[in-house]
Structure 1
Amino acid sequence: MWEYEFSAETTVDADALWRSWSDPNRWPEWNPGIESFELDGPFAVGTTFRMTSPDGDTVQLRFAEIVDGELWCDVFVDEGIEIRTEHRLTPLGNGRTRVTYRTEITGPAADTAGPEIGPQITADFPRVVAGLISHAGGVNQPG
């Protein structure tokens, strides 16, 4: 298994953060890693979607878990690996929220593929989280 996690804390209202997350068609507005986006249904478990990066690579994922106002996970499956990314909001009290992106690569090929592709997948997490927080209306601090 390979894993990586990034988080930041913010005073932006958790509901505003969730609104930005739960409207996937607007993700390209704040996620610099998405050039274009196609959604095959509602923001719901089982719905598939495709994201194309600025360099033209397209990946198809599926929503695997959604807990309204708290978290959502997407999954990519290929030969020998499963890449699961969790997006979580954690209330910290005093009007603060932690925004966390966590990726796990599992499966028979994870020990070799994870160290190779994991850092590529997660390299933009700090910029993406900052973009989400800014889009939702605030400032962030690494957490």
Structure 2
Amino acid sequence: MTNWEFKHSVYTRAKRKTAWDFLTDMSNQLRMEPGIEDIELDGPFANGTNGRTIAKTHTQEWQLSEVIEGQQFTITGQTPEQELSLSFSWEFEDEGAGTRLTQTIKGSAADISAYQEIFHGMEENAPKQMARLVEELDQPDTI
């Protein structure tokens, strides 16, 4: 297996609990993800809970892990053929009066080069999506 990794951090004026509550509420993630029709969670936001992201063209199954309330969580899924594993980890750290959010995206596959176009798209889009997240979190009614 070979690996790919991308990490990006942003700062929000929102408190860590506010950022945590926002990101762990699947309705917020659904609203912020273009092209996604639904996000389902089969239980509490906790280690081992399964979920799925439903788009027009496919459904992606995933599982929560490394959940530490208010601090971090990871969502890991595999392609239906189990050729590619992707994980999306979030870390929440107090910084000044607000919060530093760090997202780490990791890919693992036998032939990682086959997914370079997908990874390139993630490298371009993740910072934009995180900037949009900060805009949402920094709204006066959210802070």
User: What TM-score does the superposition give when structure 2 sets the normalisation length?
Assistant: 0.78
RMSD: 2.4
Runs of 4+ in 1 over 4 A off after TM superposition: none
1:28 partnered with 2:25: no
Aligned in 2, Cα 1:22/1:88: closer, same or farther, shift over 3 Å? same
Cross-structure match for 1:48: 50
Distance of 1:76 and 1:122 partners within structure 2: 18
Distance of 1:73 and 1:33 partners within structure 2: 22
1:11 partnered with 2:18: no
Amino acid at match of 1:115: Q
Cross-structure match for 1:126: 127
For structure 2, which runs of at least 5 residues remain unmatched after alignment?
Answer: none
Q: Give the length in aligned residue pairs.
A: 136
Cross-structure match for 1:77: 78
Aligned in 2, Cα 1:19/1:62: closer, same or farther, shift over 3 Å? same
Distance of 1:11 and 1:134 partners within structure 2: 10
Distance of 1:58 and 1:122 partners within structure 2: 22
Aligned in 2, Cα 1:127/1:12: closer, same or farther, shift over 3 Å? same
- Preserved contact between residue 13 and residue 138 of structure 2 (Cα < 8 Å): no
**Deviation of residue 114 (structure 1)?**
4.2
Amino acid at match of 1:82: S
Greater relative contact order, per chain length (Cα 8 Å cut-off, separation 6+): 1
Distance of 2:123 and 2:48 partners within structure 1: 23
Identical pairs, percent:
24
Distance of 2:34 and 2:123 partners within structure 1: 13
- Preserved contact between residue 7 and residue 103 of structure 2 (Cα < 8 Å): yes
User: What TM-score does the superposition give when structure 1 sets the normalisation length?
Assistant: 0.78
- Preserved contact between residue 40 and residue 49 of structure 1 (Cα < 8 Å): yes
Aligned in 2, Cα 1:120/1:21: closer, same or farther, shift over 3 Å? same
Cross-structure match for 2:108: 106
1:89 partnered with 2:92: yes
**Deviation of residue 116 (structure 1)?**
3.3
For each residue in 1:24-80, what CA deviation from the matched residue of structure 2 results, as whole angstroms up to 9, or x when unmatched? 244213333533112222111111111124x53321111122011011101112434
